[in-house]
Amino acid sequence: MGDILTLDDLRLVAKRRLPRMVFDFIDGGAEDERTLRANREAFERRTFEPRLLSTAAERDQSVTVLGERLATPVLLAPTGLSRLAGPGGETAAAKAAQKRGTVSVISSASSVAVGEVGRSVERPQWFQLYPWGDWELTSALMDRAKAAGVTTLVLTLDVPVTGARERDYRNGMTIPVRINPRTAFDVLSHPAWALKVLTGKRITMANLVGLREGHGSSAASLAQLNLSLLNPSYSWDDVRRVRDYWAGRLVLKGIMGAADARRSVDAGADGVIVSNHGGRQADAIPASLDVLADVAAEIGTEAEILFDGGIRRGTDVVMALALGARAVLVGRPWMYGLAAGGQSGVEKMFDILSTEIDRTLALVGARSIADLDASFVRNRPGTFV
C-alpha cells in the first residue's frame, strides 16, 4: 500500500480487488445518483479564506463528542455487511478506529454481531438501529447493544423504505443474490477475494441471528427479515419510545434540515447526524453539506451535530467542522480501506485523513478544531450555495 496517497487511491485499489457487484454495492447510490454526486460537488463549490500567521507549531485535531474524547474528528459510519469488503469486517474496522483514538458505529446490518465486536476492542462502540416496526425486536437489539457496552445509540430515520440502488439491481446484488453467468464470472475473476471472503465464515446480518424465534439464519432470510421490519409509518412518538428505553446517549441520523433538527431536540436526542445516507436513499435531495449551516443555526447550542456524506479529504473534514459539525463520519472510505488492506487499510485511511486535516489546519490558520468557524469558508466565486 506504499503508493497510496489519497482516499481516492484506496477506492481504486478496492475497485480492482472486489467483484463488481460488491464494489458497486459499496460505491453506488440511489436512482440517478444525483445526491451522491451532489455530496462531492458541495465541497467543490466552497473554498477557504486562509487566516495568515495564526497557526501553531503543533496543531490539535482532538475533539470531544458527546463526552468522549476522540484523537481525530472522524468516526466510522455504520455500514451493513462489511465482511463483503474484507475479512474481519466490522471487527477489523473497530480495531483500526480504536488504534487511532476514535470509535466506529456498528450497523444493525453488520456482518459481525455487536457483542462480538465489543469483545474484540476495549473502547466502547456506538450502535446503529433502524426504524423498525416491531418493538419487541427493537428493544431486544437495544438490550444486546447495552450488554456489548455500547455508549451511544444512533437511530437512522431516513429509511422508511429502501432506496432504489439500481447498480445492485443490474448486478444481481439482490435478496437472494442472483447467480447467472455474468455474476459467476464476476466472482470467479476475483479469486483472491473469493478465497479470502467466501471461504470464511458465512456473511449474514449477524445481529439478527436468533432475534426472532424460529426464523432461519440464512443470509437471504435475515436480510429479508431486516427489510420486513422497516416501518414506513414510524413516527416521532416511536423515536420518543426509543429515547425512553435507551439510557445512554441518543443520536438521530438522516437529519436534512432545520425543522427536523428541531423535532429531534424536542424528541430528546443528544445529537443529530446531518446525512442523506451517502446518496443511497432519496435521490435529488440536497448535499448534506448544503444543509449543515441551517441545522447548526437551529440547534447548535442545544445538541451536538455530526456530519456525513462525501468526505474524501482532510479539507472536507475541516470545512464541515467550520460549518458547524463537531465531528464527521466516513462510510465508503473505510470499506475501501478494508478491501485494500484489511485492518491496516482502515488505519491507512485514518492516517491519510489525519495528515490532511493537520496540514489543512496549518494552511488555513487554525491551531485546533475549536478555532474553526464559518468565517473560514467562502463560496467559490460565481457559484450559488
Q: Residue 278 interacts with ligand FNR (CB under 6 A)? A: yes
Q: Tell me: is residue 275 an annotated ligand-binding position.
A: yes
- Name the residues annotated as catalytic: 277
Partners of 328 in the β-ladder: 74, 307
Helix axes 236-245, 258-266, angle to 10 degrees: 40
- Indicate the residue among 167 and 359 with the shorter CB distance to ligand FNR: 167
Q: Tell me: is residue 311 an annotated ligand-binding position.
A: yes
SS3 for 317?
helix
- Phi, psi at 189, each rounded to 5°: -85, 5
Helix axes 332-364, 7-17, angle to 10 degrees: 170
Q: Residue 128 interacts with ligand FNR (CB under 6 A)? A: yes
Q: Which of 285, 305, 253, 323 is nearest to 43 (CA)?
A: 323
Partners of 251 in the β-ladder: 154, 271
- Indicate the residue among 63 and 366 with the shorter CB distance to ligand FNR: 63
Q: How many residues bind ligand FNR (CB under 6 A)?
A: 24
Min. distance of Cβ 98 from ligand FNR in angstroms?
Answer: 19
Asked if the bond preceding 73 is cis, omega within 30° of 0, the reply is no
Q: Tell me: is residue 331 an annotated ligand-binding position.
A: yes
- Indicate the residue among 211 and 366 with the shorter CB distance to ligand FNR: 211
Q: Residue 26 interacts with ligand FNR (CB under 6 A)? A: yes
- Indicate the residue among 75 and 293 with the shorter CB distance to ligand FNR: 75
Q: Residue 332 interacts with ligand FNR (CB under 6 A)? A: yes
Q: Where are the alpha helices (DSSP H) in 153-245?
A: 166-171, 181-188, 191-193, 219-229, 236-245
Of all residues in the shown chain, the one whose CB is closest to ligand FNR is 331
User: In sequence order, which residues have a C-beta less than 8 Å from that of residue 169 and are 6 or more positions away?
Assistant: none
User: In sequence order, which residues have a C-beta less than 8 Å from that of residue 190 and are 6 or more positions away?
Assistant: 17, 18, 19
Q: Tell me: is residue 107 an annotated ligand-binding position.
A: yes
Q: How far, in Å, CA of 27 to CA of 163, rounded? A: 14
Q: Tell me: is residue 128 an annotated ligand-binding position.
A: yes
Pairing mode of beta strands 152-156, 126-129: parallel
E-assigned strand segments in the chain? 46-48, 63-65, 68-70, 74-76, 105-106, 126-129, 152-156, 249-255, 271-274, 304-308, 327-330, 377-379
Q: Which of 66, 105, 59, 99 is nearest to 82 (CA)?
A: 105
Contact positions with ligand FNR (CB under 6 A) in 350-379: none
Q: Residue 156 interacts with ligand FNR (CB under 6 A)? A: yes
Q: Tell me: is residue 309 an annotated ligand-binding position.
A: yes
Q: Residue 190 interacts with ligand FNR (CB under 6 A)? A: no
Contact predicate 357/70, CB 8 Å:
no
Cell of 311: 468526505
Q: Residue 19 interacts with ligand FNR (CB under 6 A)? A: no
Q: Tell me: is residue 215 an annotated ligand-binding position.
A: no
| CA geometry: angle 149, 301, 49, nearest 5 deg | 105
Per-residue contact string for residues 102-121; x = within reach of ligand FNR by CB under 6 A: -----x-x------------
Q: Residue 150 interacts with ligand FNR (CB under 6 A)? A: no
Q: Which stretch binds ligand FNR (CB under 6 A): 165-173, 231-239, 293-301, 305-313?
A: 305-313
Q: Residue 4 interacts with ligand FNR (CB under 6 A)? A: no
Contact predicate 358/314, CB 8 Å:
yes
Cell of 67: 463526552
Q: Which one of residues 103, 272, 291, 311 is an interface residue with ligand FNR (CB under 6 A)?
A: 311
- Indicate the residue among 313 and 332 with the shorter CB distance to ligand FNR: 332
Min. distance of Cβ 382 from ligand FNR in angstroms?
Answer: 26
Torsion sign, CA atoms 286, 290, 294, 299: positive
Q: Which stretch binds ligand FNR (CB under 6 A): 44-52, 65-73, 308-316, 342-350?
A: 308-316
- Indicate the residue among 223 and 361 with the shorter CB distance to ligand FNR: 223
Binding-site residue set for FMN: 78-80, 107, 128, 130, 156, 253, 275, 308-312, 331-332
Binding-site residue set: 78-80, 107, 128, 130, 156, 165, 253, 275, 277, 280, 308-312, 331-332
Contact residues toward ligand FNR (CB under 6 A) are 25-26, 39, 77-80, 107, 109, 128, 156, 253, 275, 277-278, 280, 308-311, 330-332, 335
